């Protein structure tokens, strides 16, 4: 008689085919209590940018939001800062299950990566990973640009 092998890896460790996501929380199983949309923008000519997020509690109620004007070297920096701001807010509110929606493929890929990164974003990415790890369930999901608007 053969032995029954048990699966030790989830079926889709990086999400189902066609989805780009990263799980930062202590577990990858769960569902969001709050959904947060993040976005950043940047003007290369002036180096001015903005980072913003809007949080919508799944149970209803008024949305929360924050925006910040920044000097940045790239649009990526503004996207990463928006994620950092959103996670900081979520932690101070005591949230434990959050879904962060972003239109930045690169943000998700950098959070999935273990290779060296651009020093201009390295520290914020490390902080995002550490903050997300303090939450029970924290997922970043790439969505189409027109969906987040």
pTM of the full predicted structure? Answer: 0.85
The per-residue pLDDT for range 16-34, each reduced to its tens digit, is 667 899 999 999 898 999 9
Please, are residues 33 and 57 in contact by the beta-carbon 8 Å criterion? yes
pLDDT for res 97: 97
The per-residue pLDDT for range 79-130, each reduced to its tens digit, is 999 999 999 999 999 999 999 999 999 999 999 988 767 788 999 999 999 9
pLDDT for res 115: 77
The per-residue pLDDT for range 33-65, each reduced to its tens digit, is 999 999 999 999 999 999 999 999 988 889 999
For residue 50, list its beta bridge partners: 41, 69
Q: For the chain, list the domains and their CATH numbers.
A: 21-148 (3.30.420.10)
How far, in Å, CA of 136 to CA of 29, rounded?
A: 9
Q: Where are any strands of DSSP class E within the chain?
A: 21-23, 34-43, 48-57, 64-71, 97-102, 137-142
Helix axes 75-92, 119-133, angle to 10 degrees: 20
Beta-sheet pairing, 97-102 with 137-142: parallel
Structure tokens at 93: 């509110």
């Amino acid at each position: 008689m053969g032995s029954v092998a048990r699966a030790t890896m989830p079926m889709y460790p990086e999400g189902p085919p066609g989805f780009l996501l990263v799980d930062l929380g202590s577990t990858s199983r769960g569902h969001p209590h709050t959904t947060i949309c993040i976005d950043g923008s940047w003007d290369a000519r002036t180096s001015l940018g903005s980072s913003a997020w809007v949080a919508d509690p799944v149970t209803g109620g008024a949305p929360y939001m924050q925006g910040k004007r920044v000097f940045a070297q790239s649009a990526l920096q503004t996207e990463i800062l928006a994620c950092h701001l959103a996670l900081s807010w979520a932690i101070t509110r005591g949230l434990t299950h959050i879904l962060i929606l972003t239109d930045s493929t690169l943000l998700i890929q950098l959070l999935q990566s273990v290779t060296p990164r651009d020093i201009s974003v390295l520290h914020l990415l490390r902080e995002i990973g550490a903050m997300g790890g303090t939450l029970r369930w924290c997922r970043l999901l790439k969505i189409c640009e027109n969906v987040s608007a």
